[in-house]
Structure 1
């Protein structure tokens, strides 16, 4: 096939460019394809892991509903061993902790809750675990340990619950003034429609919180 002069010049230019840069372009294409293949494999693996973790978590939920404590513990241990980095592992550990607590196994409940505190999937799961762990320690009368667990930073959505539980511990220690303060701050941080608001108000009133508020209001009017 014959080419005119202009076409031949373009072909020669392309050949020269390819001779100089073609090898680099080829390697870039190979690297790009390899990266894409790797990303696809990683995505597929993540989906596969999530599906497997979800299936085991379903086992935990079914066993918990039937109060089959041994199965709950076994499935949770399996999930944590294989898929500890997933949200399902944290949810299973929280379920296992509740099952253990309901069965009177406080040591088992603490073990699972501590795992979530240390290695939970997110700060939200960790906050839930801390509050529940504080409750277990309160039941065990380990007040200082409970206060230590509840003293950490909590995100806004869990701060009021942590303060309420702290107030409960302080009441158990007969530190009523500090307990009132904890309940008051918890109440301040709760929205008007918060489900736990009424209970905190009852606790505060039982400690004379309502009386204090009336006295303060009366003093202000003077």
Structure 2
């Protein structure tokens, strides 16, 4: 707009500008209002979802402590189906996997862990589920599948645990040198003074004493 125009010209120019842009301005205001109130609605909805999921997760945990596996499973399934975007669904699936594994229901345990790998939003949850699934495969003698899962991991937080598991698998397969190297990696991935360092050193010493 020309700041040197006369008052009449300014008035006419304002009218013309409004005719040309009025609809866009109104639309922008409406969109802005929708965004503000829609954002508030979304936040409120997320909070309600999280609170409901928390309650159901606590119920699932209580059922497990009471050895009511069926009720715990029903609560966990509700979380996984209706509250999958919340971390409580992941927590429920992980604890159900642990419970199923302890009960010898290995197929069910695997299903829960696969669900976490496919649905968890945080990589740390995916990696932890992968680690536990690899351990489960190893416990069933499926060394190849377990090694594939170890190899697929890019985790830094669980690197030592993955390396230790690789060492255990390699040792079970009779490859002592590879087992020793994996245990070394596990030790080097630990922070100084961690308690697991002693256990890993014992494993390395045991492998070394039987090597050759």
What TM-score results when the alignment is normalised by the length of structure 1? 0.82
Distance 1:169 1:70 in 2: 34
Distance 1:15 1:112 in 2: 65
Residue equivalent to 1:149: 149
Shift, 1:139, TM fit: 1.3
Post-superposition Cα deviations, 1:11-42, rounded to whole Å, max 9, x if no partner, equal 77766654554443222211211121221221
Distance 1:48 1:146 in 2: 39
Distance 1:128 1:56 in 2: 23
5+ unaligned residues in a row in structure 1: which ranges? 1-5, 213-222
5+ unaligned residues in a row in structure 2: which ranges? 1-5
Deviates more, 1:145-154 or 1:17-26: 17-26
Residue equivalent to 2:104: 104
Deviates more, 1:200-209 or 1:32-41: 200-209
Larger CA Rg, structure 1 vs 2: 1
Residue equivalent to 1:47: 47
Q: How many positions carry a matched residue from both structures?
A: 206
Post-superposition Cα deviations, 1:41-60, rounded to whole Å, max 9, x if no partner, equal 21111111111111111112
Distance 1:20 1:100 in 2: 67
Post-superposition Cα deviations, 1:58-109, rounded to whole Å, max 9, x if no partner, equal 1122122233222222211111011112211111111001111111211111
CA RMSD of the aligned region, Å? Answer: 2.4
Residue 73 (structure 1) aligned with residue 83 (structure 2): no
* Correspondences of 1:185-204 after superposition (within 5 Å): 185-204=185-204
Distance 1:175 1:160 in 2: 19
Residue equivalent to 2:165: 165
Distance 2:131 2:119 in 1: 15
What TM-score results when the alignment is normalised by the length of structure 2? 0.86
Residue 124 (structure 1) aligned with residue 135 (structure 2): no
Distance 1:147 1:74 in 2: 33
Residue equivalent to 2:34: 34
Distance 1:128 1:21 in 2: 55
